[in-house]
Structure 1
Amino acid sequence: MNLFLIFLALILFHENYIFGLETEEIKGINVLKKLKNDLPDCDLHDFVKSENDYKSLNDDLKTHCTTSASNKQFRTLCHMLCYELTVACKVPAESRPSKAIYTTKVTASELCGTKRIDKTNDWIAKKVLNSEQKQIITSNGLCTKITSDENALPLARFFYKIAPRVREADLAKQNKG
Protein backbone atom coordinates (compact mmCIF):
# COMPACT_ATOMS: atom_id res chain seq x y z
CA MET A 1 0.00 0.00 0.00
CA ASN A 2 2.84 2.40 0.84
CA LEU A 3 4.44 1.68 -2.52
CA PHE A 4 1.16 2.57 -4.24
CA LEU A 5 0.97 5.92 -2.40
CA ILE A 6 4.57 6.73 -3.30
CA PHE A 7 3.89 5.86 -6.93
CA LEU A 8 0.73 8.01 -6.95
CA ALA A 9 2.59 10.94 -5.39
CA LEU A 10 5.32 10.69 -8.04
CA ILE A 11 2.75 10.69 -10.83
CA LEU A 12 0.99 13.76 -9.43
CA PHE A 13 4.28 15.61 -8.89
CA HIS A 14 5.46 14.74 -12.40
CA GLU A 15 2.17 15.90 -13.97
CA ASN A 16 2.29 19.20 -12.09
CA TYR A 17 5.88 19.72 -13.17
CA ILE A 18 5.11 18.98 -16.82
CA PHE A 19 2.28 21.49 -16.94
CA GLY A 20 4.18 24.13 -14.99
CA LEU A 21 1.74 24.04 -12.12
CA GLU A 22 4.49 24.04 -9.51
CA THR A 23 6.31 27.02 -10.98
CA GLU A 24 5.42 30.64 -10.60
CA GLU A 25 2.77 31.02 -13.26
CA ILE A 26 2.04 34.12 -15.24
CA LYS A 27 -0.84 35.85 -13.49
CA GLY A 28 -4.22 36.20 -15.17
CA ILE A 29 -4.72 39.23 -17.38
CA ASN A 30 -7.83 41.11 -18.43
CA VAL A 31 -7.06 41.50 -22.12
CA LEU A 32 -10.04 43.71 -22.98
CA LYS A 33 -9.42 46.06 -20.06
CA LYS A 34 -5.71 46.34 -20.84
CA LEU A 35 -6.41 47.12 -24.49
CA LYS A 36 -9.05 49.68 -23.53
CA ASN A 37 -6.69 51.38 -21.05
CA ASP A 38 -3.55 51.29 -23.20
CA LEU A 39 -5.04 51.67 -26.68
CA PRO A 40 -8.56 53.11 -26.42
CA ASP A 41 -8.88 53.43 -30.22
CA CYS A 42 -8.13 49.75 -30.78
CA ASP A 43 -11.17 48.00 -32.24
CA LEU A 44 -11.27 44.22 -32.39
CA HIS A 45 -13.62 44.53 -35.37
CA ASP A 46 -10.45 45.31 -37.35
CA PHE A 47 -9.20 41.75 -36.86
CA VAL A 48 -12.29 39.61 -37.52
CA LYS A 49 -14.50 39.22 -40.59
CA SER A 50 -18.01 39.52 -39.16
CA GLU A 51 -20.03 40.85 -36.28
CA ASN A 52 -20.67 37.28 -35.10
CA ASP A 53 -16.91 36.63 -35.09
CA TYR A 54 -16.40 39.83 -33.10
CA LYS A 55 -19.03 38.81 -30.55
CA SER A 56 -17.55 35.32 -30.19
CA LEU A 57 -14.02 36.68 -29.76
CA ASN A 58 -15.20 39.30 -27.28
CA ASP A 59 -17.19 36.72 -25.29
CA ASP A 60 -14.25 34.30 -25.16
CA LEU A 61 -11.90 37.05 -24.01
CA LYS A 62 -14.40 38.05 -21.31
CA THR A 63 -14.77 34.43 -20.20
CA HIS A 64 -11.20 33.20 -20.32
CA CYS A 65 -8.95 36.27 -20.27
CA THR A 66 -9.74 38.20 -17.12
CA THR A 67 -7.72 38.37 -13.93
CA SER A 68 -10.34 36.41 -11.98
CA ALA A 69 -11.60 33.96 -14.62
CA SER A 70 -8.29 33.05 -16.19
CA ASN A 71 -7.36 29.50 -15.22
CA LYS A 72 -3.87 28.06 -15.57
CA GLN A 73 -4.55 26.60 -19.00
CA PHE A 74 -5.55 30.00 -20.42
CA ARG A 75 -3.11 32.39 -18.74
CA THR A 76 -0.27 31.93 -21.19
CA LEU A 77 -2.62 32.16 -24.18
CA CYS A 78 -4.23 35.33 -22.81
CA HIS A 79 -0.84 37.00 -22.36
CA MET A 80 0.08 35.95 -25.89
CA LEU A 81 -3.14 37.47 -27.22
CA CYS A 82 -2.69 40.65 -25.22
CA TYR A 83 0.82 41.21 -26.52
CA GLU A 84 -0.20 40.35 -30.08
CA LEU A 85 -3.25 42.64 -30.08
CA THR A 86 -1.26 45.48 -28.49
CA VAL A 87 1.27 45.28 -31.32
CA ALA A 88 -1.42 44.75 -33.98
CA CYS A 89 -3.39 47.80 -32.89
CA LYS A 90 -0.28 49.97 -33.34
CA VAL A 91 0.28 48.75 -36.90
CA PRO A 92 -1.12 51.05 -39.62
CA ALA A 93 -4.40 49.75 -41.05
CA GLU A 94 -2.90 48.97 -44.47
CA SER A 95 -0.22 46.74 -42.89
CA ARG A 96 -2.46 44.84 -40.50
CA PRO A 97 -3.12 41.15 -40.91
CA SER A 98 -6.10 40.08 -42.96
CA LYS A 99 -9.25 39.64 -40.93
CA ALA A 100 -9.70 36.22 -39.40
CA ILE A 101 -12.77 34.04 -39.33
CA TYR A 102 -13.02 33.44 -35.62
CA THR A 103 -15.57 30.66 -35.43
CA THR A 104 -13.89 28.15 -37.76
CA LYS A 105 -13.47 24.74 -36.16
CA VAL A 106 -9.96 23.33 -35.94
CA THR A 107 -8.32 20.56 -33.95
CA ALA A 108 -5.25 21.07 -31.80
CA SER A 109 -3.18 18.80 -34.04
CA GLU A 110 -4.24 20.73 -37.17
CA LEU A 111 -3.42 24.04 -35.53
CA CYS A 112 -0.12 22.98 -33.99
CA GLY A 113 0.98 21.18 -37.15
CA THR A 114 1.08 24.22 -39.43
CA LYS A 115 4.33 25.10 -41.17
CA ARG A 116 4.97 28.64 -39.91
CA ILE A 117 4.20 27.98 -36.27
CA ASP A 118 7.81 27.60 -35.06
CA LYS A 119 8.79 31.20 -35.82
CA THR A 120 5.65 32.48 -34.15
CA ASN A 121 6.22 30.33 -31.06
CA ASP A 122 9.85 31.47 -30.76
CA TRP A 123 8.81 35.12 -31.09
CA ILE A 124 5.94 35.05 -28.60
CA ALA A 125 7.77 32.85 -26.07
CA LYS A 126 10.50 35.50 -25.84
CA LYS A 127 7.85 38.17 -25.26
CA VAL A 128 5.52 36.66 -22.67
CA LEU A 129 7.00 33.63 -20.90
CA ASN A 130 8.87 34.20 -17.68
CA SER A 131 12.17 32.41 -17.08
CA GLU A 132 10.60 29.66 -14.96
CA GLN A 133 7.98 28.91 -17.60
CA LYS A 134 10.66 28.78 -20.30
CA GLN A 135 12.25 25.93 -18.36
CA ILE A 136 8.96 24.01 -18.46
CA ILE A 137 7.45 25.05 -21.79
CA THR A 138 9.72 25.21 -24.80
CA SER A 139 8.59 27.20 -27.79
CA ASN A 140 8.16 23.83 -29.55
CA GLY A 141 5.61 22.76 -26.93
CA LEU A 142 3.85 26.10 -26.64
CA CYS A 143 1.00 25.37 -29.06
CA THR A 144 0.33 22.01 -27.43
CA LYS A 145 0.25 23.66 -23.99
CA ILE A 146 -2.21 26.39 -24.93
CA THR A 147 -4.50 24.03 -26.86
CA SER A 148 -4.67 21.37 -24.14
CA ASP A 149 -8.15 22.68 -23.29
CA GLU A 150 -10.55 22.34 -26.22
CA ASN A 151 -12.25 25.59 -25.19
CA ALA A 152 -9.00 27.42 -25.98
CA LEU A 153 -8.95 26.38 -29.63
CA PRO A 154 -10.87 29.37 -31.06
CA LEU A 155 -8.64 31.86 -29.21
CA ALA A 156 -5.51 29.93 -30.15
CA ARG A 157 -6.58 29.73 -33.79
CA PHE A 158 -7.23 33.47 -33.81
CA PHE A 159 -3.80 34.09 -32.29
CA TYR A 160 -1.99 31.95 -34.86
CA LYS A 161 -4.06 33.31 -37.77
CA ILE A 162 -2.97 36.93 -37.31
CA ALA A 163 0.41 36.25 -35.69
CA PRO A 164 2.71 36.12 -38.76
CA ARG A 165 1.97 39.72 -39.84
CA VAL A 166 2.04 40.98 -36.26
CA ARG A 167 5.35 39.20 -35.63
CA GLU A 168 6.85 40.77 -38.76
CA ALA A 169 5.68 44.24 -37.69
CA ASP A 170 7.02 43.76 -34.17
CA LEU A 171 10.41 42.52 -35.38
CA ALA A 172 10.66 45.36 -37.92
CA LYS A 173 9.93 47.88 -35.16
CA GLN A 174 12.60 46.33 -32.94
CA ASN A 175 15.17 46.39 -35.75
CA LYS A 176 14.52 50.12 -36.27
CA GLY A 177 14.81 50.95 -32.58
Structure 2
Amino acid sequence: MLKNLSLRFDALEDRILLRLVSDEGEQQLQLTRRVCARWGHDLQQLVATSAQAPARLDAVAQTNLAAAHHQAMAAQATTYRETAPETPLPALSPPQLVTGIACGRRHSDGRWLLRFSTQQGRDWTVVLTSETLHGLVDVFRAQVNIAQWALPPMALEAVATVQAGASPLH
Protein backbone atom coordinates (compact mmCIF):
# COMPACT_ATOMS: atom_id res chain seq x y z
CA MET A 1 0.00 0.00 0.00
CA LEU A 2 1.24 3.49 -0.88
CA LYS A 3 2.19 5.51 2.19
CA ASN A 4 3.75 8.59 0.64
CA LEU A 5 4.31 10.06 -2.78
CA SER A 6 6.43 13.15 -3.30
CA LEU A 7 7.68 15.19 -6.23
CA ARG A 8 10.69 17.49 -6.16
CA PHE A 9 12.56 19.28 -8.94
CA ASP A 10 16.23 18.33 -9.02
CA ALA A 11 17.99 21.28 -10.67
CA LEU A 12 21.30 19.43 -10.91
CA GLU A 13 19.76 16.63 -13.00
CA ASP A 14 17.11 18.91 -14.61
CA ARG A 15 14.52 16.28 -13.76
CA ILE A 16 11.62 15.86 -11.38
CA LEU A 17 12.28 13.23 -8.74
CA LEU A 18 9.28 11.10 -7.79
CA ARG A 19 9.63 9.30 -4.48
CA LEU A 20 7.27 6.41 -3.74
CA VAL A 21 7.13 4.98 -0.23
CA SER A 22 5.03 1.86 0.27
CA ASP A 23 4.84 -1.17 2.53
CA GLU A 24 7.42 -2.80 0.24
CA GLY A 25 9.97 0.02 0.64
CA GLU A 26 11.02 3.16 -1.17
CA GLN A 27 11.66 3.79 -4.84
CA GLN A 28 12.88 6.95 -6.54
CA LEU A 29 12.04 7.65 -10.16
CA GLN A 30 13.34 10.43 -12.41
CA LEU A 31 10.95 12.21 -14.76
CA THR A 32 12.38 14.08 -17.74
CA ARG A 33 10.92 17.20 -19.32
CA ARG A 34 9.59 15.13 -22.24
CA VAL A 35 7.91 12.57 -19.94
CA CYS A 36 6.41 15.39 -17.86
CA ALA A 37 5.01 17.09 -20.97
CA ARG A 38 3.13 13.91 -21.93
CA TRP A 39 2.13 13.18 -18.33
CA GLY A 40 0.69 16.68 -17.90
CA HIS A 41 -1.61 16.04 -20.84
CA ASP A 42 -2.62 12.64 -19.42
CA LEU A 43 -3.26 14.12 -15.96
CA GLN A 44 -5.49 16.75 -17.59
CA GLN A 45 -7.50 13.93 -19.19
CA LEU A 46 -7.87 12.20 -15.81
CA VAL A 47 -9.07 15.45 -14.23
CA ALA A 48 -11.63 15.90 -17.02
CA THR A 49 -12.82 12.30 -16.61
CA SER A 50 -13.07 12.75 -12.86
CA ALA A 51 -15.36 15.76 -13.30
CA GLN A 52 -17.87 13.66 -15.27
CA ALA A 53 -19.06 16.66 -17.29
CA PRO A 54 -22.17 15.96 -19.36
CA ALA A 55 -21.36 15.39 -23.04
CA ARG A 56 -23.97 17.97 -24.06
CA LEU A 57 -21.83 20.81 -22.64
CA ASP A 58 -19.57 22.69 -25.01
CA ALA A 59 -15.79 22.38 -24.63
CA VAL A 60 -15.40 25.63 -22.66
CA ALA A 61 -18.10 24.65 -20.17
CA GLN A 62 -16.56 21.18 -19.78
CA THR A 63 -13.14 22.73 -19.10
CA ASN A 64 -14.62 25.17 -16.57
CA LEU A 65 -16.50 22.36 -14.84
CA ALA A 66 -13.35 20.22 -14.72
CA ALA A 67 -11.36 23.13 -13.25
CA ALA A 68 -13.97 23.79 -10.55
CA HIS A 69 -14.19 20.07 -9.75
CA HIS A 70 -10.40 19.87 -9.58
CA GLN A 71 -10.17 22.79 -7.15
CA ALA A 72 -12.78 21.23 -4.88
CA MET A 73 -11.15 17.79 -4.91
CA ALA A 74 -7.59 19.10 -4.52
CA ALA A 75 -8.70 21.09 -1.47
CA GLN A 76 -9.66 17.78 0.18
CA ALA A 77 -6.24 16.19 -0.45
CA THR A 78 -3.67 16.04 2.31
CA THR A 79 -0.57 17.65 0.86
CA TYR A 80 2.48 19.05 2.57
CA ARG A 81 4.62 21.92 1.36
CA GLU A 82 8.18 21.83 2.56
CA THR A 83 9.62 25.12 3.78
CA ALA A 84 13.23 24.09 3.12
CA PRO A 85 14.68 22.05 0.27
CA GLU A 86 14.07 18.38 0.86
CA THR A 87 17.06 16.47 2.13
CA PRO A 88 17.40 13.42 -0.07
CA LEU A 89 16.72 10.27 1.86
CA PRO A 90 19.00 7.32 1.25
CA ALA A 91 17.40 5.10 -1.34
CA LEU A 92 17.79 1.37 -1.54
CA SER A 93 18.83 1.83 -5.16
CA PRO A 94 19.66 4.78 -7.43
CA PRO A 95 16.73 6.62 -9.06
CA GLN A 96 15.42 4.94 -12.19
CA LEU A 97 14.67 6.90 -15.35
CA VAL A 98 10.98 6.82 -16.32
CA THR A 99 10.35 6.28 -20.04
CA GLY A 100 6.56 6.19 -19.95
CA ILE A 101 3.54 6.67 -17.73
CA ALA A 102 0.21 4.94 -18.39
CA CYS A 103 -2.84 6.42 -16.69
CA GLY A 104 -6.28 4.94 -16.20
CA ARG A 105 -9.12 4.10 -13.87
CA ARG A 106 -9.91 0.81 -12.21
CA HIS A 107 -13.49 -0.25 -12.96
CA SER A 108 -13.95 -2.26 -9.76
CA ASP A 109 -13.61 0.66 -7.33
CA GLY A 110 -13.09 3.80 -9.45
CA ARG A 111 -9.57 4.41 -8.15
CA TRP A 112 -6.97 5.93 -10.44
CA LEU A 113 -3.98 3.96 -11.71
CA LEU A 114 -0.59 5.32 -12.71
CA ARG A 115 1.94 2.86 -14.12
CA PHE A 116 5.50 4.13 -14.37
CA SER A 117 7.75 2.24 -16.82
CA THR A 118 11.50 2.66 -16.53
CA GLN A 119 14.49 2.40 -18.81
CA GLN A 120 15.58 -0.65 -16.81
CA GLY A 121 12.37 -2.48 -17.78
CA ARG A 122 10.65 -2.28 -14.38
CA ASP A 123 7.12 -1.04 -13.82
CA TRP A 124 5.58 0.50 -10.71
CA THR A 125 1.82 0.87 -10.41
CA VAL A 126 0.36 3.42 -8.02
CA VAL A 127 -3.31 3.36 -7.00
CA LEU A 128 -4.82 6.71 -5.97
CA THR A 129 -8.10 7.98 -4.59
CA SER A 130 -9.71 10.92 -6.39
CA GLU A 131 -8.55 13.34 -3.71
CA THR A 132 -4.97 12.09 -3.93
CA LEU A 133 -5.02 12.30 -7.74
CA HIS A 134 -6.11 15.93 -7.65
CA GLY A 135 -3.56 16.75 -4.95
CA LEU A 136 -0.87 15.11 -7.09
CA VAL A 137 -1.90 17.23 -10.09
CA ASP A 138 -1.40 20.41 -8.04
CA VAL A 139 1.99 19.27 -6.74
CA PHE A 140 3.03 18.23 -10.27
CA ARG A 141 2.04 21.63 -11.67
CA ALA A 142 3.99 23.39 -8.90
CA GLN A 143 7.14 21.37 -9.60
CA VAL A 144 6.90 21.94 -13.37
CA ASN A 145 6.60 25.68 -12.66
CA ILE A 146 9.67 25.53 -10.39
CA ALA A 147 11.55 23.72 -13.18
CA GLN A 148 10.73 26.59 -15.58
CA TRP A 149 10.54 24.21 -18.51
CA ALA A 150 8.07 26.36 -20.46
CA LEU A 151 5.73 23.43 -20.99
CA PRO A 152 2.28 24.26 -22.38
CA PRO A 153 -0.09 25.11 -19.51
CA MET A 154 -2.68 22.57 -18.51
CA ALA A 155 -6.25 23.63 -19.31
CA LEU A 156 -6.78 24.07 -15.56
CA GLU A 157 -4.10 26.77 -15.52
CA ALA A 158 -5.55 28.53 -18.55
CA VAL A 159 -8.99 28.66 -16.89
CA ALA A 160 -7.50 30.00 -13.65
CA THR A 161 -5.68 32.75 -15.58
CA VAL A 162 -8.83 33.81 -17.42
CA GLN A 163 -10.88 33.83 -14.20
CA ALA A 164 -8.24 35.83 -12.32
CA GLY A 165 -8.10 38.53 -15.00
CA ALA A 166 -11.83 38.62 -15.75
CA SER A 167 -13.66 41.90 -15.43
CA PRO A 168 -17.37 42.73 -15.47
CA LEU A 169 -18.91 43.77 -18.77
CA HIS A 170 -20.81 46.94 -17.85
Normalised by the length of structure 1, the TM-score is 0.29
Higher RCO (C-alpha under 8 Å, 6+ residues apart):
1
Identify the structure with the greater helix proportion. 1
Identify the structure with the greater strand proportion. 2
Normalised by the length of structure 2, the TM-score is 0.30
